[in-house]
């Protein structure tokens, strides 16, 4: 069994360079690869294209890369609560491609499965479909969307083993599984890293064949994007 364990985030991001295309899992702040993002900030990589549902918040997640102007282009479905993301998009400092959320997921999954493209009804008849091939199937129109081509995919799982098998927890499953194997190199950071054979094969969500590097994250803040609480009765 191939051991894919690396020591830490610094080793895990080796090979990332300027102007690459990076996938980053997560939804809002749930299930984001916090340690990898912090390391990308630290090494100062520039001009990257990020494929992610959103860009975190102003002072956390991908928002940290935006603050440092390390991101050239965001491919995402949601601007979210990030004021700096909005500012850079409206000012023209940041190239932004906003696409339907389901299409974002399917373009990741197509890359993972080795499909060059998929047809989707989402966006037909809108500016999303401008300049793209369309085709009718059974009386319904579809838009051709190409699979993503990324250099690295950074994902976060709850538990993994040294062969790269992953188990996600709750909502953190979101975009992470679809991004595994959807890039040339997939890096997984986990809260708990166990020896091969420890995980129940029936509980594994992503097999290790889709992962090239895995490490145990050091600290996870797990911030809540918007905290909503009930008033005391």
Structural domains in the chain, sorted by start: 9-115+147-216 (3.40.1080.10)
pLDDT computed for residue 37 by the predictor: 97
Percent of the chain scoring above 90 in pLDDT: 87
Task: Give the three-state DSSP class for 183.
Answer: strand
Question: What digits encode the pLDDT tens for the residues 50-59?
Answer: 999 999 898 8
Which burial class, exposed, middle or buried, applies to 60 when counting CB atoms under 10 A from its CB (0-12, 13-18, 19+)?
Answer: middle
Calculated CA dihedral for residues 40, 42, 46, 51, nearest 10 degrees: 20
Rounded-to-integer distance, Cα 163 and Cα 92, Å: 43
Question: What digits encode the pLDDT tens for the residues 84-110?
Answer: 999 999 999 999 999 999 999 999 999
Q: Which residues contact 62 (CB under 8 A, 6 or more apart)?
A: 24, 32, 37, 50, 52, 54, 55, 56, 71
Tokens of 99: 């696409």
pLDDT computed for residue 136 by the predictor: 98
Tokens of 139: 């009386």
Other CB atoms within 10 Å distance of the CB of residue 100: 17
């Amino acid at each position: 069994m191939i051991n894919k364990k690396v020591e830490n985030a610094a080793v895990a991001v080796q090979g990332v360079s300027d102007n690459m295309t990076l996938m980053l899992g997560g939804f809002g702040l749930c299930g984001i690869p916090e340690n990898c993002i912090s390391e990308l900030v630290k090494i100062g990589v520039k001009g990257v294209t990020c494929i992610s549902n959103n860009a975190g918040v102003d002072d956390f997640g991908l928002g940290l890369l935006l603050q440092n102007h390390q991101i050239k282009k965001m491919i995402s479905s949601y601007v979210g609560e990030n004021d700096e993301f909005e500012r850079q998009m409206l000012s023209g400092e940041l190239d932004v491609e906003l696409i339907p959320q389901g299409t974002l997921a399917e373009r990741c999954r197509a890359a993972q499965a080795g499909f060059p493209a998929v047809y989707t009804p989402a966006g037909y008849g809108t500016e999303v479909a401008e300049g793209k091939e369309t085709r009718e199937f059974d009386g319904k129109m579809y838009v051709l969307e190409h699979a993503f081509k990324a250099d690295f995919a950074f994902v976060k799982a709850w538990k993994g083993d040294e062969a790269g098998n992953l188990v996600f927890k709750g909502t953190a499953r979101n975009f992470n599984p679809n991004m595994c194997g959807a890039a040339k190199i997939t890096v997984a950071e986990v809260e708990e890293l166990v020896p091969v054979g420890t995980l129940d094969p029936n509980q594994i969500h992503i097999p290790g064949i889709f992962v090239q590097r895995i490490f145990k994250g050091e600290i996870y803040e797990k911030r809540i994007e918007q905290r909503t609480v009930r008033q005391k009765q």
